[in-house]
A and B are shown apart, each in its own frame.
Chain A
Amino acid sequence: MTRMRLRLTFPPHLIQEPIVYRLVKDFDIVINIRRADVKADYGWMALELDGEEAQLERGVKWLKEKGVQVDPIERDVISP
């Protein structure tokens, strides 16, 4: 099992989609929401994810393809 800490940022067109549910159901990932702020047209979540490494990577890839911004919990680690 591998653990990840990610921050997901949702654009307006995805706010009404059950993204987290799909992550759990389709990729067999255990999710713990630690902090979140979801508004009518925008939202973010700080998540802890547990799962097989390959499944986690597939889940992250799927999120990006959907248009979710996926960052580490620290956000931009690369500094100018």
Chain B
Amino acid sequence: MEKLNGLRCRECGRRYPATPVHVCEFCFGPLEVDYRYDALKRVVTRESITAGPPSMWRYKDLLPIEGDVAVGHHVGFTPLIRARNLADELGCREVWIKNDSVCHPSWSFKDRVVSVAVTKAKEFGFDTVACASTGNLANSVAAHAAEGRLRSYIFIPADLEQGKVLATLVYNPTLVAVHGTYDEVNRLCSEIADKYRWAFVNVNFRPYYSEGSKSYGFEIVEQLGWRTPGHIIVPCAGGSLIAKIWKAIKEFEQLGLIDGPVTTKMHAAQALGCGPIVTMVKNDTDVLVPVRPNTIAKSLAIGNPADGYYAYRTTKESGGFGEHATDEEIVEGMLLLARTEGIFTETAGGVTVAAAKKLIESGVIPRDESIVICVTGNGLKTPDALYDRLEAHVKIKPSLSAFDKALAELKAQTA
């Protein structure tokens, strides 16, 4: 089945063949994969999907892969958890957590996009993959490159703490630490991507890479029994994820796979210290004003997001809204999710939990409607966010009498 028409400019609509290009040569707009939905409609059914593997590749027909899956065979199909305890705390009827903190192999949703990009890189005959990243993306690119027997170059700002790079270095990539300001490193990486024939996953492979995010949305719908929730709260960094989850829902709707009408409202969640997309939503403007990130939510710290406009448009089109979370609220969100559901998320998950709470309390999200909160990364990667907040409750000498005494005091405190 020929499923791809090629690439299409999201701004001027000009068409391109499916090659490793990412920018329209005419208007410099971003390119997006264009599918032949008429052909897909004949082959993609609920039955064909459920007969697939328990991974994101059960949706392979709707991803831009034309050959076999090359890496990341076990990525995705993460748990969608009915969060009854959290729902009680929030005073809501139906709350779900889509939990990519346990996404294989590198514990974040980036495995979805990277496995598509690296598979596509092999399909195009590339022998080297690359990215510029300070966290989850670097982990995932290095891991998938190792699995695919590809060379990998990971670019980082030279001042990045050693602790942040260990989870990348372990996969044996070539790590290039660049001295310079954030802007200088950023521009250099763009120039390197332009000069070398490498698969720079989030630059020249971005049209393919970003499609991997749709699998997160497909899974929500399938795991809810082929229905869509009332609300989805999505963390926004570059702005691509929220737009791709929405695209996934619209594709399923177009293919006739969803029960009932789609009434889902997509809500954007960002940190107050780096929230240009939510600011657009709140001010109801399509003008994105770049910011300098200043937040503990490092995994969302993109001050000039490439897909900011499309993220804003997604909230508008779906009738959703957005909410900022302060650093304090982010930590509270992480702790709330951990103590109610036993899920340790990174700061980005704290942002979505906090934003959901605020949207519910302000009445934007009615308490009797179904809510999916997106958790996209694992807290064990960034425990430093909680260092100042957690300590052992009870410290005792090694004797039973000391424990008896401490326990009695604890019970008295909580009585």
A38-64 residues with Cβ-Cβ distance < 8 A to B are: 39, 42, 46, 48, 64
Given A39-B287, A42-B287, A42-B289, the answer on whether A76 and B28 have CB atoms closer than 8 Å is: no
Q: How many residues of A contact B (CB 8 A)?
A: 22
A80 touches B305 (CB 8 A): no
User: Is B229 in the interface zone, CB < 8 Å from A?
Assistant: no
User: Is B33 in the interface zone, CB < 8 Å from A?
Assistant: no
User: Is B79 in the interface zone, CB < 8 Å from A?
Assistant: no
From A34, A35, A48, A80, give the contact of B300 (CB < 8 A): A80
A78 touches B28 (CB 8 A): no
Given A42-B287, A78-B132, the answer on whether A34 and B182 have CB atoms closer than 8 Å is: no
Q: Which residues of B contact A37 (CB under 8 A)?
A: 287
Q: How far is the CA of A76 from the CA of B191 in the complex (A)?
A: 13
A79 touches B190 (CB 8 A): no
A34 touches B28 (CB 8 A): yes
User: Is A77 in the interface zone, CB < 8 Å from B?
Assistant: yes
User: Is B134 in the interface zone, CB < 8 Å from A?
Assistant: yes
Smallest Cβ distance from A67 to chain B, in angstroms?
Answer: 12
Given A76-B305, A80-B302, the answer on whether A35 and B27 have CB atoms closer than 8 Å is: yes
Q: Which residues of A contact B227 (CB under 8 A)?
A: none
List the count of A-B residue pairs having beta carbons below 8 Å apart: 93
Q: How far is the CA of A71 from the CA of B22 in the complex (A)?
A: 16
* Residue of chain B at shortest CB distance from A78: B132
* Residue of chain B at shortest CB distance from A32: B28
* Residue of chain B at shortest CB distance from A12: B289
User: Is B290 in the interface zone, CB < 8 Å from A?
Assistant: yes
Q: How far is the CA of A37 from the CA of B187 in the complex (A)?
A: 22
* Residue of chain A at shortest CB distance from B108: A80
* Residue of chain A at shortest CB distance from B194: A5
Given A79-B132, A80-B300, the answer on whether A74 and B23 have CB atoms closer than 8 Å is: yes
Give the most central of A5, A37, A76: most B CB within 10 Å. A76
From B26, B185, B300, give the contact of A78 (CB < 8 A): B185
Smallest Cβ distance from B198 to chain A, in angstroms?
Answer: 13
User: Is B303 in the interface zone, CB < 8 Å from A?
Assistant: yes
Per-residue CB contact flags for chain B residues 221-244 toward chain A (1 = under 8 Å, else 0) read 000000000000000011000000
B135 touches A78 (CB 8 A): no
User: Is B304 in the interface zone, CB < 8 Å from A?
Assistant: yes
Q: Which residues of A contact B352 (CB under 8 A)?
A: none
User: Is B147 in the interface zone, CB < 8 Å from A?
Assistant: no
A71 touches B186 (CB 8 A): yes
B238 touches A78 (CB 8 A): no
* Residue of chain B at shortest CB distance from A35: B27
Per-residue CB contact flags for chain A residues 13-50 toward chain B (1 = under 8 Å, else 0) read 00000000000000000000011010100100010100
Smallest Cβ distance from B15 to chain A, in angstroms?
Answer: 18
A79 touches B237 (CB 8 A): yes
B2-29 residues with Cβ-Cβ distance < 8 A to A are: 11, 22-23, 26-29
Q: How far is the CA of A35 from the CA of B24 in the complex (A)?
A: 11
B11 touches A35 (CB 8 A): yes
B131 touches A34 (CB 8 A): no
A74 touches B131 (CB 8 A): no
Residues of chain B at the chain A interface (Cβ within 8 Å)? 11, 22-23, 26-29, 131-137, 155, 157, 182-183, 185-187, 189-191, 193-194, 202-203, 206, 237-238, 287, 289-290, 298-306
Known: A34-B27, A79-B132. 16 other contacts (CB 8 A): A5-B23, A35-B28, A39-B287, A70-B183, A70-B187, A72-B186, A72-B191, A74-B23, A77-B132, A77-B187, A78-B132, A78-B157, A79-B202, A79-B238, A80-B133, A80-B302
Cβ-closest 4 pairs across A and B:
A72-B190, A46-B28, A79-B137, A80-B299
